[in-house]
Structure 1
Amino acid sequence: MNLPLLKRKSGPKVTATVPVTGSVNLEEHHDESRLAQRRADKWMIAGAALMGMWAPGLIGLPIFMRGVWLQRQALQAGLSVRPMIVTLIGYLVLIDGMLNSLGWALDLVANHTLINRVLMVGWGAMFDAGYFWHYNEAWIGGAAAPGEKSMVFGMILTVFAMRCAAAIGFLQMKRWGHQWMIITCWMGVLIWCLYVFNMTMYADVRYAGVVFPVIGWWLYDIFYITPFLAIPYLHTVNREIFSD
């Protein structure tokens, strides 16, 4: 009978070249990581789409958080999924672009529809009288507040469409997505400065008689500081994690 020895000096030392039971190779690890990321993204895309439609946002938030939880579980399991900070910034910018694109597109091209007259005029009565004061009385329709229609037209055609595209590329870990995210976030800073000045200059029009004047302004305008939050990360992150 051979008794086990604590220290066997004879023979070469065995290295860990044979995989342990339950371990996976690199290809299997890559496939599992890709499937886990795709599963989490399905929930987050559905939640972000609902949150980008204004009213269904209350339904979309728990769906989105379910996707975040799935990605966190994948990270804790050791899978190679997207960094959480990239996920949060990318989807936050995507939701921001979708919200503004939908809302201002309704004001620009569907300003006489029933749903727009209910939502926009209700929004104007509650928060921003620029969407209540002489609404649909201008020749182009929609908001008649000074300076508002030019911002609506210009930003739908440029920055918000670019922000949605940049967010998609950023979430796919593409280098062009990272580069365009930097560009559109700095454009977001410019928009925020323009919008704050415009609303302050015409405050007698935009906040006279609304239900939630200054408090309401902070409730919905605080989300426009997302470019300020993303810019430091975008300029300091290792660009090598984004592929060509």
Structure 2
Amino acid sequence: MPTFSFLRRGDASSGVASGGALDQHDAESRDAQRRADRWLIAGTALMGTYVLGLAGLPLFLRGIWLQRRAQQAGLSVRPILVTLLGYLILIDAFLNSIGWVLDLFASHTLVTRVFFAGWGNFFDGGYWWHYNELWVGGSSAPGEKGWEVALILVVFPMRVAAAIAFLQMKRWGHQWLIVTCWFGVVIWVGYVANMTVYADVRFAGVVLPVIGWWLYDIFYISPFLAIPYLHTVNREIFSD
């Protein structure tokens, strides 16, 4: 219970009343945040898949609306920008993980072969060039498997853990989100360089070569957008 230094000596009844009001405010704030998070988590779970992505958007937006309404009502909820950045980075990690996990561990399934063959013919020839001919299976494009192993087993689990802690307003979540977002810069630059060096494999004989690839690759810079905020936000809003 906090000490109310503004109370007059002996005014115990006012202290009890103020303490009770603070407890009620705290309880209402937690309930409002949980209610918003239920919608946000449901929307994130759907948007983190390739199939039901659009179905999750209305749920996600409702969660943002609920949190915004709680904030306007004066409740102590998570800042809107923290919510947006945390959940959007979480979605980015899920989408990247699912796509590459399917290629690395489920490349022989019929659904995956159809999906990636179509993807390869349309955007990125590395997903149909000698497909399933390596000992691991999936894409045989030079360098692809190295990126998949490093990111699936290291970077994206780190990013998911950091985003969850960030949403819980933990200081270590904020710190590690900075690390994983800068990892995103390394990934993006390295992957673009890999695609460019092996352009004869990845852009030859596809419907939408370089332009098509950039149309979807530009969304991979989304973690970059969090970097200025993460470096300038007041760290005292995060707890140990």
Deviation at 1:209, TM superposition (A): 2.2
Q: Percent identity?
A: 70
* Corresponding residue number in structure 1 for 2:204: 208
Higher helix share: 2
* Corresponding residue number in structure 1 for 2:68: 72
Matched residue type, 1:237: V
* Corresponding residue number in structure 1 for 2:112: 116
* Corresponding residue number in structure 1 for 2:171: 175
Deviations 1:93-123 (A, max 9, x none): 1001101111111111111011211222221
CA distance in 2, matches of 1:73, 1:119: 41
* Corresponding residue number in structure 2 for 1:217: 213
* Corresponding residue number in structure 1 for 2:186: 190
Q: How does 1:118-137 map to 2 (within 5 A)?
A: 118-137=114-133
The 1:43/1:155 distance shift into structure 2, 3 A limit, reads same
Is 1:242 aligned with 2:206?
A: no
Deviations 1:188-241 (A, max 9, x none): 110010011111111221122222223322232112112321111111111111
Q: CA RMSD in A?
A: 1.6
CA distance in 2, matches of 1:220, 1:53: 16
CA distance in 2, matches of 1:37, 1:199: 43
Aligned equivalent of 1:54, options 50, 57, 67 = 50
Q: Secondary structure at the match of 1:55?
A: coil
Q: Secondary structure at the match of 2:113?
A: helix
Deviation at 1:126, TM superposition (A): 1.8
* Corresponding residue number in structure 1 for 2:141: 145
Aligned equivalent of 1:230, options 226, 233, 240 = 226
Deviations 1:162-208 (A, max 9, x none): 11111000001001100110110111110010011111111221122
CA distance in 1, matches of 2:156, 2:170: 19
Q: Secondary structure at the match of 1:158?
A: helix
Aligned equivalent of 1:166, options 157, 162, 165 = 162
Deviation at 1:78, TM superposition (A): 1.2
Is there any run of 5+ residues in structure 2 with no aligned partner, and where?
Answer: 1-12, 15-19
Q: Secondary structure at the match of 1:40?
A: helix
* Bigger Cα displacement from structure 2, 75-84 vs 222-231: 222-231
* Corresponding residue number in structure 2 for 1:63: 59
Deviation at 1:47, TM superposition (A): 0.8
CA distance in 2, matches of 1:215, 1:50: 28
Matched residue type, 2:59: I
Matched residue type, 1:87: T
CA distance in 2, matches of 1:175, 1:232: 17
Deviations 1:27-61 (A, max 9, x none): 11111111111111111111111111112101111
Number of residue-to-residue matches in the alignment: 224
CA distance in 1, matches of 2:195, 2:32: 45
List, as ranges, runs of 4+ consecutive aligned residues in structure 1 with deviation greater than 4 Å: none
